[in-house]
Amino acid sequence: MTDTVAQTEKKPVIFSGMQPSGALTLGSYMGALQNWVNLSDAYDCYYCIVDLHAITSRQEPAELRRRCLDQIAQYIACGLDPAKSTLFIQSHVPAHAELSWILNCYTMFGELSRMTQFKDKSTRNTDNINAGLFTYPVLMTADILLYQAELVPVGDDQRQHVELARDVANRFNGIYGDVFTLPKSFIPEEGARIMSLADSTRKMSKSEPAGGCIYLMDKPEVILKSFKRAVTDSGGDVRYDQAEKPGVSNLMTIYSVATGKSYDAIEAEFSGLGYGAFKTAVGESVVELFRPIREKAEALLADKAYLVSVYTDAADHAARAANKTLRKVYKKIGFVAK
């Protein structure tokens, strides 16, 4: 099915990935998933659960396995249609690891040494600075180039990696002719940076302490409680001002994305009402936004056979596209055809 659609319409290709290293959060929903859904009609989208990337930090095997399934279910529950987008698991398509090795030989040690994420991660986790952490951006380059992706929707923290992918593609094309499409990152402005509810200077992520991070599958009581406790400031007016009122501004962004209301409308709505009423309203808007998603994801997770069919078909489809690129690369390099 997906094959015919992709081939007859020839839409431009999008590739993006998310690590199954933790449960999906409000940040991943508003910063990435919503955007993935919006792009899924106009583009031929490959959305990948990057389990090969996840093992650059130690994972508990049973947890890793469960989170990959959860993630597929949640992607679909958020509105991604497996008949339109290719929702697959990275380790199911061996071409990722294969092209990654090849591209290791076309990526410079110096380039990888300059990656800020590597520098960050290796200073924070001194007990496990493995070679995979260092070559992580090469695997990401392989992900993108295998599908000839033009656009790569990512968060700001991945911009440098996409630039590297472009540089490596350029270098390879310079030697062998036009093999790879040059990718560009696509960074959405709206809702792109949802901050922790406990500390508005930090991005909302799974490493946040309890209450700072809202999960897609959280129960309503948990969501409401976290919003009631969200940090604000000593003032009382609901006004958008990132520098002076980062906590309130973050809550306004969340409310705005959840309800579609503008900042002006939100200021007017809560004028004179104080933070208590505002925080309750934000919490309720997120509960309502997530309720149908959670219910749909739970139903999908109860139908394991369906999920298996989704990721199996997707892996077949992805492998066909990826192998086409890989064969071309092997030929250009001078490997003997088998």
Phi then psi for residue 322, to 5 deg, are -65, -40
* Cα(256)–Cα(295) distance, integer angstroms: 23
Q: Which of 6, 17, 95, 145: binder of ligand TRP (CB under 6 A)?
A: 17
> Could you give the count of Cα atoms lying within 13 Å of 54 in the half-sphere of its Cβ?
22
Q: Are 164 and 156 in contact (CB under 8 A)?
A: no
Nearer to ligand TRP, 16 or 256 (CB): 16
Note whether 19 binds ligand TRP by CB under 6 A. Answer: yes
Stretch that binds ligand TRP, among 139-147, 172-180, 205-213, 251-259 (CB under 6 A): 139-147
Residue ranges of alpha helices (H) inside 127-273 are: 131-146, 159-176, 220-228, 246-259, 263-269
Q: Which stretch binds ligand TRP (CB under 6 A): 12-20, 194-202, 314-322, 327-335?
A: 12-20
Pick the binder of ligand TRP from 39, 73, 145, 152 (CB under 6 A): 152
Rounded Cα–Cα distance for residues 68 and 75 (Å): 11
In the complex, the smallest distance separating the C-beta of residue 60 from ligand TRP, rounded to whole angstroms, is 19
121: left (phi over 0), alpha (psi -120 to 50) or beta: alpha
Minimum CB–partner distance for residue 155 and ligand TRP (Å)? 6
With vertex at residue 88, the alpha carbon angle to CA 84 and CA 92, rounded to the nearest 5 degrees, is 145
CB of 24 within 8 A of CB of 187? no
Does residue 144 belong to the site contacting ligand TRP (CB under 6 A)?
yes
Q: How far is the CB of 178 from ligand TRP (least distance, A)?
A: 21
Of the listed 121, 261, 328, 332, which one is catalytic?
Answer: 121
CA angle, 204 as apex, 203 and 206 as ends, to 5°? Answer: 120
- Binding ligand TRP (rule: CB under 6 A), the pick from 13, 16, 82, 279 is 16
Catalytic residue among 11, 84, 184, 206: 206
| Separation CA 291–CA 294 (nearest Å) | 5
Instruction: Give least dist CB 203 to ligand TRP, A.
Output: 12
DSSP label at residue 31: I
Does 27 engage in binding with ligand TRP (CB under 6 A)? no
| Closer residue to ligand TRP, CB minimum distance, 89 or 281 | 89
User: Active site includes 206?
Assistant: yes
Query: Going residue by residue from 28 to 67, which x/- string records binding to ligand TRP, judged by CB under 6 A?
Result: ----------------------x--x--------------
Active site (catalytic) residues = 121, 203, 206
Q: Which residues bind ligand TRP (CB under 6 A)?
A: 15-17, 19, 50, 53, 140, 143-144, 152, 154, 158
